[in-house]
Amino acid sequence: MLACPIGRAWWPLMALLLPGGAGLAAQGGGSRAVLAHAPAVPPALARRPPGRVVVRLETREVKHQLADGVDYTAWTFGGQVPGQFIRVREGDRVEFHLDNHPDSRMPHNIDLNAVTGPGGGAAVSFTAPGHSTSFEFQARNPGLFVYHCAAVPVGMHVANGMYGLMLVEPAGGLAPARREYYLMLGEFYTDGAFGEPGARAFSWEKALAETPDYVVFNGAVGSLTGERALVASVGETVRLYVGNGGPNLTASFHISGETFDRVYLGGSSQPLTNVETVPLPPGSAAIVEFTVDVPGTYPIADHALFRAFNKGALGTLRVDGPPAPALYAGRTGDEVYLLEGATAQVLPAVRDTARGPKTVAEQVEAGRRIFSQTCQACHQSDGRGIPGSFPPLAGSDFLNADLRRAVGIVLNGLQGPVVVNGRTYNAVMPALRLTDDNVADVLTYVYSQWGNAGKVVAPALVSQIRLCPWCETGGRPPGP
């Protein structure tokens, strides 16, 4: 853990020198801004002349779940990562109050990139635990802007979750959008490996080396998947407010299967059009707009793909509505997770019968190679899956309960919810074009690993199930 001699020496003094303290009442009778926790966004502002707006934001240090079973003490604006979304209008006079919860161990402040003035308000908002400070500014430039803590050590405050977005609506307002969502990417540097359970602490070494264990949307692995997926219906306009809190990595925001109609980088009034991937350096944001035309499940990702598939930067947009075969005649759901699994399609579809049956050890070795090419991206090299996205194979009650079902899933793919070790997963597993030998080997490998049941799968069984899928269930796919 890191001690911060500079910060600790300065904050009591600054708390005495700077304005604020117990007088928390709004000055001047402005209206109170409505704040929202991600992925929600405050409602659009009614068209009105600029006025006085009171924003009240609280810094809190909270126990936060980074991933399934992984706890981390996050430092927050408003109790969650990212901080609460702030929405004002161009020209508004903003009376900003920063309250630092009495239980905080650290002083905090706020640097709003929307502010014209030194440090974006950082120096004048320096707030000791149990204190409240206030300052005022005019929201002069319309656009979408990051705010963050800038108390020393600044990188650590940001890495612990202290960032959020502030929208300054242009004077004429924004065009109506049926759906608005708030997403922020951010990195976490911990003293454990990705997914390593327990209470994890900040790693100064990893932060310096810019090698995060987690790169996530909205503060946690799985924050935008399963029941928390973003939703829309065919024909609706979706507006995403997307930011990158960093602190170190430049993000490549992408939705697989959706071209963005308009992207307003930062405060630009001129959109880029027909954009596939939005570059977002740390401390930047963009308004991303598109109309959804084809139903299905769309991965939301940082297109730096190891972050998406191995560090958590993966979400889901679920679009419902009637099919649109003129635009997309294929089967939605099969194609989207093949980004890294596509090698499976080029494996030779010829069964090697010249050498006779393999030994179990040979099957395990062959299966290990197939697993690394085909399965590992989702289920991970240690078989633990990706919390919230892809179920574990290690010690899986679902896998070990029914070998024939497992064979059928590898042959035919799987869609819809399954419950594995008490948790529900709802990802798409594509049908893998593997030979009978391939299927037998990879499952024999999986059953031989990670505390699984040690079952041996014969190619003949795979062949039988391939020819007569679900025979034993009367033609119905076996249920979870």
Kindly list the residues in this chain that would bind Cu ion in the complex (CB under 5 A): 108, 149, 151, 157, 162
Which C-beta is closer to Cu ion: that of 108 or that of 303? Answer: 108
Kindly tell me which of 77 and 371 has the beta carbon lying closer to Cu ion.
Answer: 77
Q: How far is the CB of 61 from Cu ion (least distance, A)?
A: 9
313 three-state secondary structure: coil
Quick one: which of 318, 434, 420, 323 has its CA closest to 379?
420
Measured distance CA(160)–CA(162) in Å, rounded: 6
Rounded to whole angstroms, the Cα distance separating 31 from 368 reads 62
Q: Taking the complex as a whole, how short is the minimal distance between the CB of residue 106 and Cu ion, in angstroms?
A: 6
Which of residues 162 and 313 has its CB atom nearest to Cu ion in the complex?
Answer: 162
Nearest residue (CB) to Cu ion, 77 versus 217: 77
Of 310, 185, 166, the closest CA to residue 249 belongs to 185
Nearer to Cu ion, 149 or 364 (CB): 149
Q: How many CB atoms lie within 10 A of CB 19?
A: 11
Residue 356 to residue 358: CA distance in whole angstroms: 7
Nearer to Cu ion, 67 or 149 (CB): 149
DSSP secondary structure letters along 78-141 = SSSSSPPBEEEETT-EEEEEEEE-TT-SS-B--EETT--SGGGGTGGG-B-TT-EEEEEEE--S
User: Shortest gap between Cβ of 146 and Cu ion (angstroms)?
Assistant: 14
Q: Which two tokens stand for residue 393?
A: 């194979």
Q: Name which of 87 and 108 has its Cβ closer to Cu ion.
A: 108
Q: Cβ of residue 157: shortest distance to Cu ion, in angstroms? A: 4
Q: How far is the CB of 87 from Cu ion (least distance, A)?
A: 22
Between CA 78 and CA 386 the distance in angstroms is: 28
CA 151, distance to chain mean position in Å, is 26
Nearest distance, CB of residue 155 and Cu ion, angstroms: 11
**Would you call 63 helix, strand, or coil by DSSP?**
strand
Q: How many residues would you count in the chain?
A: 480
Residue nearest to Cu ion (CB): 149
Nearest to Cu ion of 57, 407 (CB atom): 57
Helix 436-448 / helix 360-370 crossing angle, nearest 10 deg: 100
Helices (H) and strands (E) in the chain, counts: 10, 23
Tell me how far, at minimum, the Cβ of 162 lies from Cu ion, in Å: 5
Closer residue to Cu ion, CB minimum distance, 157 or 405: 157
Pick 162 or 366: Cβ nearer Cu ion: 162
Nearest Cα neighbor of 106 from 74, 64, 72, 136 is 74
Residue 41 Ramachandran class (φ > 0 left, ψ -120 to 50 alpha, else beta): beta
Q: How far is the CB of 95 from Cu ion (least distance, A)?
A: 21
Distance CA 103, CA 111 (A): 22
Is the Cβ–Cβ distance between 89 and 45 less than 8 Å?
yes
Cβ–Cβ contacts within 10 Å for residue 421, how many?
A: 14
How many C-beta neighbours within 10 Å does residue 461 have? 17
**Shortest distance, position 363 Cβ to Cu ion, whole Å:** 54
| Residue whose CB is less far from Cu ion, 130 or 279 | 130
Residue with tokens 């697993």: 371
Least distance from C-beta 79 to Cu ion, angstroms?
14
How far is 248 from 235, CA to CA, in rounded Å? Answer: 37
* Least distance to Cu ion, CB of residue 109, Å: 7
Q: Provide the pairing of β-strand 314-320 with 230-233.
A: parallel
Q: Give the residue carrying structure tokens 């920063």.
A: 98
The one-letter amino acid at 7: G
As measured in angstroms, the least distance from the Cβ of 148 to Cu ion is: 8
Q: Of 157 and 404, which CB lies nearer to Cu ion in the complex structure? A: 157
